Amino acid sequence: MGYAQLVIGPAGSGKSTYCSSLYQHCETTRRTIHIVNLDPAAENFDYPVAMDIRELISLDDVMEELGLGPNGGLMYCMEHLEENLDEWLTEELENYLDDDYLVFDCPGQIELFSHVPVLKNFVEHLRRTNFNVCVVYLLDSQFITDVTKFISGCMASLSAMVQLELPHVNILSKMDLVTNKKEVENYLNPEPHLLLAELNQRMAPQFQKLNKSLIEVVDQYSMVSFIPLDLRKESSIQYILSQIDNCIQYGEDADVKVKDFDQEEDD
């Protein structure tokens, strides 16, 4: 069994920075993780790159040869990745054995996890190769200064959740930049009825019914929960990692054995 995090979220939300901080954290705690670059447009890395999509396809070549712009070029690269899952990914994964822990640093184009099947097929491939996968969705705390932005952030995360159908951890990144901590903390675990009241207050009366449905959707998918990430604090990274580990049952082998044993005794 292998373990993997798929780190996604809007452009600039802090995915690559999160990956490198996680790497550093694991170095200090003497834990081995491997970071994989899935962004064909990435150029500088603060972490050792274990696998790299740029070895499969070059964005510059694609843009030049096909006359595509940066976003169209990226989508082309990702589709190329999808077509080469069986060859490229399978081969690359052969370097990783049982119990290895991979973290995939994804590009920020929202289409990738909203309406093209690339990442879905990617994770299905990982799961077939016996990986436990968790989606780590980063949202920039700078963008949730009011309820409308918060809901829009939730909806984007939700679209990833329904597409990928994986355990899902929402993270509010860049907490060190937040000046009004109280205001943001209100959105970490908000009461749905308070969100609704706030939304109704912000918007014209004809949207009340829609607002109610929106909040219900978000609430029923248990979306309204974000873990704050403050990279200045080791404890913050540690906590997030432990939540994710929990989702993918990393390090629970010992527990599982104890449970099996107990069960046998009960039977």
Residue nearest to Mg ion (CB): 16
Residue 48 CB: number of other CB atoms within 10 A? 10
Number of helical (H) and strand (E) elements in the chain, helices listed first:
12, 7
Instruction: Select from 18, 185, 39, 194 the least CA-distant residue to 109.
Output: 39
39 is a contact residue toward ligand GTP (CB under 6 A):
yes
DSSP 46: S
Residue type at position 116: V
Pairing relationship of beta strands 49-52 and 101-105 according to DSSP bridges: unpaired
Contact between 174 and ligand GTP by CB under 6 A: the answer reads: yes
- Binding residues for ligand GTP restricted to 111-170, rule: CB under 6 A: none
Stretch that binds Mg ion, among 12-20, 29-37, 140-148, 207-215 (CB under 5 A): 12-20
Q: How far is the CB of 158 from ligand GTP (least distance, A)?
A: 19
Among 5, 16, 37, 132, binds ligand GTP (CB under 6 A): 16
Distance separating alpha carbons of residues 239 and 234, to the nearest angstrom: 9
Query: Hey, which bits of 166-258 come out as E strands?
Result: 168-173, 227-228
Site string for ligand GTP, 41-80 (x = CB under 6 A): ----------------------------------------
Q: Does 16 bind Mg ion (CB under 5 A)?
A: yes
**Cβ neighbours of 191 (radius 10 Å):** 11
Q: Does 37 bind Mg ion (CB under 5 A)?
A: no
Going by the DSSP 8-state scheme, the letter that residue 170 receives in this structure is E
Q: Which listed residue (59, 231, 247, 248) binds ligand GTP by CB under 6 A?
A: 231
Cα(133)–Cα(102) distance, integer angstroms: 9
> Which one, 15 or 25, has the nearer CB to Mg ion?
15
Could you say whether residue 5 binds ligand GTP (CB under 6 A)?
no
Residues of the shown chain interacting with ligand GTP in the complex, contacts defined by CB under 6 A? 9, 11-17, 39, 107-108, 173-174, 176-177, 231
